[in-house]
């Protein structure tokens, strides 16, 4: 799993919502997730692994606190975030 694939998944969810289809995650959460993932990607690209982890931390908290427990996307983002913390 990569940041790019997670960003693509967020885009796909937003497209579903824009098309009037039920999204698996509420639209406001998707916007927050996209901004956090893009910030993490910028840090990662710059070689700032600490910055990448810091950019993902608020998103991980939001997912844990607010996203539906059945969200596969949320679980994948949390898994990626945990992997980054271990590095």
Quote the pLDDT of residue 7: 96
Quote the pLDDT of residue 1: 85
| All structural domains of the chain with their residue ranges | 3-86
Cβ-in-10-Å burial (0-12, 13-18, 19+) of 71 comes to: middle
Quote the pLDDT of residue 55: 95
Give 77's Cβ-side CA count (13 Å radius). Answer: 32
| pLDDT tens string 36-73 | 999 999 999 999 999 999 999 999 999 999 988 888 99
The pLDDT of 61-86, averaged and rounded, is: 90
| pTM of the predicted protein model | 0.89
């Amino acid at each position: 799993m990569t940041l790019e694939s997670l960003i693509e998944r967020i885009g796909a969810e937003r497209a579903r919502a824009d098309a009037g289809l039920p999204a698996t995650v509420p639209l406001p959460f998707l916007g927050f997730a996209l901004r956090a993932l893009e910030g993490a990607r910028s840090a990662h690209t710059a070689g700032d692994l600490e910055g990448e982890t810091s950019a993902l931390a608020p998103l991980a908290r939001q997912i844990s606190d607010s996203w539906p427990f059945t969200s596969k996307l949320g679980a994948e983002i949390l898994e990626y975030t945990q992997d980054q913390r271990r590095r």
